[in-house]
Amino acid sequence: MVLVTGGAGYIGSHTCVELLKNGYDIVVVDNLINSHPKAIERVKRLAGKDFLFYEMDVCCETSLDTICNKHKIDCVIHFAGLKAVGESVAIPIAYYENNIVSTLALLKTMKKHGIRNIIFSSSATVYSGENTMPLTEDSLLGCTNPYGWTKYMNEQIISDAVAAETKMSAVLLRYFNPIGAHESGLIGEDPRGIPNNLLPFLAQLAAGKHEELSVYGDDYDTIDGTGVRDYIHVCDLAAGHVAAIKFCQSAKGTHAFNLGTGQGTSVLEMVNVFEKVSNVKIPYTIAPRRPGDLAASYADPTKAEKLLNWRTKKSLIEALTDTWRWQTNNPNGY
């Protein structure tokens, strides 16, 4: 059985569908701060299977202990955490406390109950801005914001815990830029307030919720001067977690993997493709660069392809089409 922390969230909910589809039994824990209970209902509907959901804080060792006493957990997928880069700069202490304490509580509970496998939801934000592209798992690490540092620190904490327990296995999945939604339109990204990420903002703008897009910088050394990122369909990302579980069963120690397409797409390229998908003109203005933003960031996914036997299958057009379907079917989110 797989314990999924933060399983009601954007990536967590899609991963739950993929796990159930592949025959895994799951238990989901989420405090619903950044998610909605309807996501859980819709995962059950999509998978045609029931599972137990606990509304609780992963920082609470007592609650985790109760769950592990009730269920025979074989593996943990740890998504739970605060996740907005900008917000992390404004309230860094809250990010360090929540994101690190939850991991410590989880690892202590795992040790107590003999749970040996963990998949950690990490991020490409752990990589330094000094690297050349594409980024490999051996690229220089270093962060520019508290959110990134919490991912970096959690990677180190997990690595140290695994090194001290010879039978443990950990997979650190460094996501690039998740986009898209389930093709059914039933689950997708449901940001609170004004979206921090490009695609949900574009979708809301096309739906009439915003007036225009601010493009931060058009003088980078890229194809059209705007920032380039590696956008990966959330369902491809979900499949990466199933592949990671299979890898954990035979590989001990800690292993990091990039999950990305290996292709970069600029902001204006995204705008152009989304206009075609939605048939809506996207108004935008050029704004000054934001401090800390990189010209480009994209993955070398070779290691995941070789060792996890995983690769992306869905195209950018599919991701944008699925996003627009989710937005039109759920104009106000869940």
List active site positions: 147
**Checking phi first, is residue 9 left (phi over 0); if not, alpha (psi -120 to 50) or beta?**
beta
**Which residue, among 143, 284, 270, has the nearest Cα to 216 in the 3D structure?**
284
Cβ-proximal residues to 25 (8 Å cutoff; 6+ apart), any chain: 1, 2, 51
DSSP classification of residue 62: H
Cβ-proximal residues to 99 (8 Å cutoff; 6+ apart), any chain: 81, 82, 147, 150, 151, 154
Reading the block at residue 201, the tokens are: 């903002």
Task: Report the distance separating Cα 246 and Cα 90, nearest Å.
Answer: 39
Answer yes or no: are the C-beta atoms of 191 and 185 closer than 8 Å: no
How far, CA to CA in Å, does 143 sit from each of 103, 175, 193? 19, 15, 25
Query: Residue 3: enclosing H or E segment and its boundaries?
Result: strand 2-5
DSSP classification of residue 289: P
Residue 304 one-letter amino acid: A
